[in-house]
Amino acid sequence: MSEKTWVLLVAGSQSWDNYRHQANVCCTYQLFKKQGIPDEQIVVMMYDNISENSNNPFPGSIRSVVDQTNVHKSVPHDYTGKKVNSKNFLAILRGDDSAGGKIIRSGSNDNILIYMSGAGNNGNFKFPEDSLTAHQFTTTINTMSENKKYSKMAIFMDSDNSKSVFTGLYDNISVYAVASCDSNNQNKSVQNDTDRGIYLSDQFSAAWLTFISTADLKKATFSKLFNYIKSKGESCPSAFGDQEIPQLRIGDFLRVGGCSDCA
């Protein structure tokens, strides 16, 4: 019986000024890889035009907001350039080969974790080529629930007005969603890197990454993670959906033993 955890990581921008979105995804990939989740169960969507960007004084490098290391190294090139779009995102999530690459082949006993970093406005998350609407996203998830395509799902979305993207999500489908901003707020960039002339992250993601990299995930719950994020930001993060998942230990959700050298 399959009991896997699948991870879908999305950076929704392509410009140098939005360096932080791809940096957030690269750092998140490294952290989950460290937890023992294999590349076969991690799908990465990012334009991948930052590490070798002409504005980058350190070619080949993307700096982590957590420890300043290069987090671009070894990140899978699953979907890059114009392949980073809402159509492929939805196909990947529902396990549809029309995406043309790695997809989430989940079953009823599997967990899915989604992390998205980018821009948005009321009712959508922006991709470089188009936008993902609240209706498209929630309808896909609701249908996946009906078709028993997962056991539990956790979604962390870091974008402006991100709470509005979850309008229409059913309450009884074992999904826990965390949005960085309510419907009237925007993200706040943090960690200005003077060497690069950009910000390394956003308030929400900097807290998310710090917690995942330092907490003992064998003990820490999603509720504790949310409270930590909320204590570090001003953008009014929101959590809703399934009320049992927040009480789960993150390591149990990920089905890994946790990080042995975490603080």
- The model's confidence at residue 148, banded by pLDDT at 50, 70 and 90, is very high
Residue 263: pLDDT band by 50, 70, 90 thresholds? Answer: very low
- As a whole number of angstroms, the distance between CA 148 and CA 107 comes to 7
Q: Is 263 part of any domain?
A: no
Q: With bands split at pLDDT 50, 70 and 90, how would you rate the model's confidence at 232?
A: confident
CATH of the domain at 188: 3.40.50.1460
Please give the model's pTM, rounded to 2 decimal places.
0.94
Residue 260 within any structural domain of the chain: no
DSSP track, 183-227? TT----EEEEETTTTEEEEEHHHHHHHHHHHHS-TTT-BHHHHHH
Let me know: does 8 contact 104? Beta carbons within 8 Å: yes
Cα 234–Cα 236–Cα 239 angle in degrees, nearest 5: 140
DSSP assignment letter at 6 = E
- Single-letter amino acid code for the residue at 219: K
> Could you give the number of structural domains in the chain?
1
- Amino acid present at 246: P
What is the residue range of 121's domain? 5-254
pLDDT of residue 122: 87
Q: What integer best gives the mean pLDDT of the chain?
A: 92
Instruction: Report H helices in the chain.
Output: 19-34, 86-94, 134-146, 203-214, 222-232, 250-254
For 231-262, b/e burial (b = at least 16 CB within 10 A) is ebbebebbbebbeebbebbbbebbebebbeeb
Residue pointed to by tokens 């460290």 = 34
Q: What is the pLDDT of residue 235?
A: 64
Flag whether 212 is in a domain.
yes
- Are the CB atoms for 207 and 253 separated by under 8 Å? no
Tell me the C-alpha distance between 239 and 97, whole Å. Answer: 31
Is the pLDDT at 261 greater than 60? The verdict is no
Q: Which residue has the tokens 């700096």?
A: 63
pLDDT at site 258? 38
